[in-house]
Amino acid sequence: MTAPAAKAAPSLRAALADSDLLFDRATLEGVIADMGRQIDAALDGERAVFLTVMNGALIFAGHLALAIRTDVEFDYVHATRYRGATSGSELTWLREPMVPLEGRTVLLVDDILDEGHTLKAVRDDCLRRGAKKVLIVSLCTKQHDRLVEGIAADFNGVELPDRYVFGFGMDYYEQGRNLPAIYALK
Ligand SMILES: O=P(O)(O)OC[C@H]1O[C@H](OP(=O)(O)OP(=O)(O)O)[C@H](O)[C@@H]1O
Ligand code: HPA
């Protein structure tokens, strides 16, 4: 029996034609360089766990890691609640942290703080594992009144309008993650 054909994703080209460029690569690289300096100052020499939330944070994490001078220990989690769609649902854990977090400072690195469910769940999980401090590092934060209570970025790069965004790690139906800029659908 042949498997049913996968549903075609909406066109990335059409989405780009119907989007605004919000932040280009040079701007984002400058913003991330500043974030690296602020994080170095906050760590004050302490070796933190650099915990990337896959997949969206992959590109930001690579740039940010090169902007931080303090040595860090890498690990990642994979938690998703959008699963290639443009609105979120239940959070699914695909990979938990492997590095012991007890007594450690964690830099929790993600691409976007939107409604905050993902970062809140991962932050709380790190604390349950005994992390002494979790610093939330997000490339961007969306401006709206749907943010869950009790979550905020300790380090944030740029602020976004309340529109669906993609590029620089963020996907449009699992496309466009490697666009070197952030776009917003009109
Ligand atoms: O603040 P929230 O409303 O929870 O949304 C933010 C989360 O959504 C995206 O992940 P997604 O579930 O799309 O998975 P992905 O990282 O694989 O794209 C993004 O990378 C954040 O982790
Ligand atoms: O606006 C968004 N774009 C991409 N991924 C996201 N995850 C939460 N919000 C978004």
How many CB atoms neighbour CB 106 within 10 A? 26
Lowest average pLDDT, out of 88-97, 108-117, 151-160, goes to 88-97
Q: Which two tokens stand for residue 12?
A: 């990335």
Q: What's the pLDDT band for 177 if we cut at 50, 70, 90? A: very high
Q: Tell me if ipTM is over 0.95.
A: yes
Closest atom of ligand 1 relative to the 56 alpha carbon = 16
Average pLDDT for 98-125: 97
Q: State in Å: Cα 109 to ligand 2 middle.
A: 15
Closest-CA residue, ligand 2 atom 4, reads 170
Q: Which CATH class is domain 13-185?
A: alpha beta
Q: Rounded to two decimals, what is the model's pTM?
A: 0.94
Q: State in Å: Cα 118 to ligand 1 middle.
A: 6
Contact 157, 27 (CB under 8 A): no
Ligand minimally distant from the alpha carbon of residue 55: 1
Question: Is 79 near ligand 2, meaning CB less than 6 Å away?
Answer: no
8-51: per-residue pLDDT in tens? 889 999 999 999 999 999 999 999 999 999 999 999 999 999 99
Q: Domain spans of the chain?
A: 13-185
